[in-house]
Chains A and B, each alone.
Chain A
């Protein structure tokens, strides 16, 4: 009965001070919404990075020349040449834990068809490359081992290359001859669309040709290769496969036990760890921005509450003069604060989710709303709202009624 009366009192008070109630709520709404949206964006890109790294295949092993990996960053290693084609062949024949191997040569090239001209990247790979990266052919066919042996002037192209040379993604270029760095090459297939990778690179902007075609006709060296891509026979034994490859290459490169490797073997999980760290940093960054907005929201709540303390202290004085107990005043203020925090929090959650969805829809940015971000921001705002509602009220309720009435 008494508590019901206090609900009535609190409701009337909120209703009477609509602007103050709204401004207090606004702090909570902004705090909650921005935390939810920021963390959703952070978590979204986090998971996106993980997914696109996983899509490369967790079983993949990369072998680069040079050993200058420092904290996951390779320092200017592209000019070093230590890996030979025969290394790839040796891995294929002698490493039991490796199932597929392909040497990879990569070169920036100019592709020409008729009057169209397009700068793109040309990869020279063995057939295994398609298996390792799970690439599929959309139209036409891939090249064969005999194409590779004969250094045949054939290639498969990505959809972006088709678009730029033939003017339409849906054009059928199979059978057409294009010129790659002036060499006439026949398109025998089109790759299935892959879209952008994590870093916004267009993975369809590519030409893939047999390894020997690229090496003999486009590269300066026929001995060394850019890198080797391999896959293990199973994910569980991937680290053993790495050891196997390393000892084989050390042997082939005739390295003394005291020498460092002149190559680097990386697995997919090494790489996802690196990017995991990067995206963790990003999440922390977003989270700190978000906590600043929570703080700002909290300060907003605090300001409104403190500014209204004078008015509210008099009100408390009036209430006490006509018979309100300290407890009644506190309960009333708590109810008011709970209602404001709750309603503000709910609106904030709705707004945060809406903003996240809009970012996903119009920004093309992946978002993932986590329960923890919703709970965290809601709790924080609720605590701030409650505290700044309760604290001045507690102080006022402890005063003599006459001092509260005279408060200035």
Chain B
């Protein structure tokens, strides 16, 4: 993939929180390019500004100052409704705490973005939602409620929801933060497959082994980017899972 195809450009992005007299510089002058088809892992200590950065990229939050271009278009000058449309059909979000609606079946949770998308007809909704659930391996759990699903399964519902409108970018903030390592690898397997299909992925994580599944790693410290390197020995989630399966099988026999 040629790195000529630029997707996201941010320049001198700052975010300052003011609580009383105290100012917190969550982001100070962050400049970054993300190309189409990238899989970026954003790393750094807690409080270093990773989430703040990701929320601004995803148009969930607005910066104090700076520039943000997506496919050459100025994002920050757009009104709230335009941003909502952008979130609806260009971005898919995945959160550490899943953020799926309680007491709502997997199917209905995944249908939700479609209900806010005028281009999707009513009769297409069910099928699209089902296909998204199938692609994350939940074809048999479409009618399950969140409380009947494991953490990994709930995160997959969230991924299906993020995929259902065919997004260009997936933004994931600590998607594996609440999951055990095997389940985390399963989520990474899904991510790598999506990335192979051309979807750009921006993922926040503080776990170095999870970051190894990405193509490049960015490190934040005190609201600044201190490193931006390609991953040297990129791991393949499918193979890692096979290793784990082999290990557990070995343990079971001994």
Contact = CB atoms under 8 A, between A and B. Distances in A.
Interface of A: 1-2, 4-6, 8-9, 12, 16-17, 314-315, 317-328, 400-403, 405
7 contacts: A1-B118, A2-B118, A318-B99, A324-B116, A325-B85, A327-B81, A402-B55
B61 A322 contact: no
A401 B84 CA distance: 9
A324 B112 CA distance: 9
A4 B122 CA distance: 10
Interface in B155-187: 161, 165
A306 B80 CA distance: 26
Interface in B82-107: 84-85, 87-89, 93, 95, 99-104
Given A318-B99, A325-B80, A405 B161 contact: no
B62 interface: yes
Contacts of A324: 84, 88, 116
B108 A323 contact: no
B55 A322 contact: no
Contacts of A8: 115
A30 to B, nearest CB: 26
Nearest to B165: A323
Nearest to A6: B115
Given A321-B87, A321-B93, A5 B116 contact: yes
A405 B80 contact: no
A2 B60 CA distance: 22
A402 B60 contact: yes
Contacts of A328: 84, 116
Interface residues on B, range: 20 to 34
Interface of B: 55, 58, 60-62, 80-81, 84-85, 87-89, 93, 95, 99-104, 108, 112-113, 115-118, 122, 161, 165
A405 B95 CA distance: 10
B116 A401 contact: no
B112 to A, nearest CB: 6
A12 B81 contact: no
Contacts of B100: 318
B116 A322 contact: yes
Residue among B58, B84, B85 with most chain A CB within 10 A: B84
Contacts of B116: 5, 319, 322-325, 328
Given A1-B118, A2-B118, A405-B60, A322 B112 contact: yes
Contact of B101 (A315, A326, A327): A315
Contacts of A327: 81
A179 B122 CA distance: 92
Contact of A12 (B104, B117, B122): B104
B60 A318 contact: no
A8 B114 CA distance: 12
A150 to B, nearest CB: 92
B60 A5 contact: no
Given A16-B103, A319-B112, A402-B60, 11 more contacts: A2-B118, A5-B115, A6-B115, A9-B112, A16-B102, A323-B84, A323-B116, A324-B116, A326-B80, A401-B87, A402-B55
Residue among B55, B62, B102, B115 with most chain A CB within 10 A: B115
Contacts of A319: 112, 116
